[in-house]
Amino acid sequence: MKRRLVILSEIISPYRIPLFNTLAGNVEVDLHVIFLAETDPTLRQWQVYKDEIQFSYQVLPSWRQRWGPYNVLLNHGVGRALATCAPDVILCGGYNYVASWQALWWARAHKVPFLLWSESNAKDLRRGHAVVEFLKSSFLRKCSGFVVPGRAAQEYLCADKKIMEGALFTAPNAVDNDLFAAGASAARQNAAALRRELGLPKRYFLFTGRLVREKGVFELLSAYAKLNESIRGQVGLVLVGDGVSRPQLEQQATSISPGAIKFAGFAQREQLAIYYGLAEMLVLPTYADTWGLVVNEAMACGLPVILSQSAGCASELMREHWNGLLVPPRDVPSLTFAMSSLAEQPDLCVAMGANSAKHIARYSPTEWSRGIAQMIEAEAGGRG
């Protein structure tokens, strides 16, 4: 019997479209996605790939306002949209929007299973405001179940939030591995011309993501500055992304010599594969990533990864000394040592990169879709 799943998601993210497309192809799932907005131009510059969407969806009317670190997004028509869809199960992508609470109350009133897609983990060094944590705990207690990407999120819910393990379903976070692998391969075949066009060093460490303090970018720049001059003379540092910390980082970078440091700015999905394909390794020293999808992307492109232990994906995607190295968050000496170790062993980087590509094949849109389908059957199976 075909079950109707409604997913409530904030924006039309390019990273989610392949997952939703794959799930929509499941003959036992009738998928409809309700987006709260098309995009968030104040935070992300992602292109909206509407032409790639192969699932039923709608975008609710919305009003958005930012006050400092707070993002207020208000929607109307949530209840009407849900009533029209008549879902068997609702999967909500967060708890921090008014629409999430509206959907939760609608589900409880209509006795529809309501699950939270939760990626939070205990190693995230950000600390929520007491009121925020209280509201979060209240929201969690009212959910029927939870979808998690892996062990870190599962342990957080079970140990910190006292959620019963039986209420959890795993759907591993994924990106379009084939798209990134193909883009990286094409870039390597045209490496010399692309390096000239983009102004890239012959060898470089790569960071991709928002240029904000919690991504560990200041620690990354400090670690690069502490590398031996001989290494900095051979291996550059390329930061792809934008954010409020960019001016300060650029100023700090002027004092580092020798060394080639390039701030490439924001890159859309297709161009990202070029930066991955020509890089030596990805470095993500974050202390605030609930997962870190850039690690999936880099591994699909065949790169080793130097990764902070705080990243939610660390326990799933990283096998230390096999496809990369783990470092404690905010630990510049450890980060410097890891970068130096891999930079001095390019053959090891190649071997680790091959291991990355092999391992990430298990984290695909198909595997994510399988996990969601199992959740739907478990939650809706008793509803006739």
Three-state helix/strand/coil letters over the chain:
CCEEEEEEECCCCCCCHHHHHHHHCCCCEEEEEEECCCCCCCCCCCCCCHHHCCCEEEECCEEEEEECCEEEEEECCHHHHHHHHCCCEEEECCCCCHHHHHHHHHHHHCCCCEEEECCCCCCCCCCCCHHHHHHHHHHHHHCCEEEECCHHHHHHHHHHCCCCHHHEEECCCCCCHHHHHHHHHHHHHCHHHHHHHHCCCCCEEEEECCCCHHHCHHHHHHHHHHCCHHHHHHCEEEEECCCCCHHHHHHHHCCCCCCCEEEEECCCHHHHHHHHHHCCEEEECCCCCCCCHHHHHHHHCCCCEEEECCCCCHHHHCCECCCEEEECCCCHHHHHHHHHHHHCCHHHHHHHHHHHHHHHCCCCHHHHHHHHHHHHHHHHHHHC
Q: What number of CA atoms fall less than 13 Å from residue 273's CA on the CB side?
A: 20
Model confidence at 382, pLDDT cuts 50, 70, 90, reads low
* Residue-level pLDDT at 113: 97
In the predicted structure, residue 253 carries a pLDDT above the cut 60: yes
In 3D, which of 158, 165, 184, 207 has the Cα closest to residue 306?
207
In the predicted structure, residue 134 carries a pLDDT above the cut 60: yes
Domains of the chain and any CATH numbers: 3-174+364-383 (3.40.50.2000), 177-360 (3.40.50.2000)
Average pLDDT over residues 97-115: 97
Q: Which residue's entry shows tokens 């290494």?
A: 231
Bond prior to 258 in cis (omega within 30° of 0) = yes
Average pLDDT over residues 238-244: 96
Average pLDDT over residues 313-317: 96
Query: Exposure string (b/e) for 256-285, b if CB count within 10 Å is 16 or more?
Result: beebbbbbbebbebebbbbbbbbbbbbbbb
Structure tokens at 83: 């009533």
Average pLDDT over residues 179-207: 97
Model confidence at 232, pLDDT cuts 50, 70, 90, reads very high
On whether the CB atoms of residues 348 and 321 are closer than 8 A, the answer is: no
Average pLDDT over residues 339-355: 97
Angstrom distance (rounded) from CA 277 to CA 259: 21
Is the whole-model pTM more than 0.85?
yes
* Residue-level pLDDT at 69: 66
In the predicted structure, residue 381 carries a pLDDT above the cut 90: no
C-alpha 61, offset from chain centre:
26
Instruction: Specify which of 59-68, 116-125, 150-159 reaches the highest per-range mean pLDDT.
Output: 150-159
Mean pLDDT of the chain: 94
Question: Tell me: the pLDDT tens digits for 27-79?
Answer: 999 999 999 999 887 767 788 999 999 999 999 999 988 776 667 899 999 99
At residue 260, φ and ψ (nearest 5 deg) are: -110, 110
In the predicted structure, residue 128 carries a pLDDT above the cut 90: no
Angstrom distance (rounded) from CA 65 to CA 43: 11
Query: 167 vs 132, which has greater pLDDT?
Result: 167
In the predicted structure, residue 164 carries a pLDDT above the cut 80: yes
* Residue-level pLDDT at 383: 53
Q: What number of CA atoms fall less than 13 Å from residue 53's CA on the CB side?
A: 18
* Residue-level pLDDT at 130: 76
* Residue-level pLDDT at 42: 73
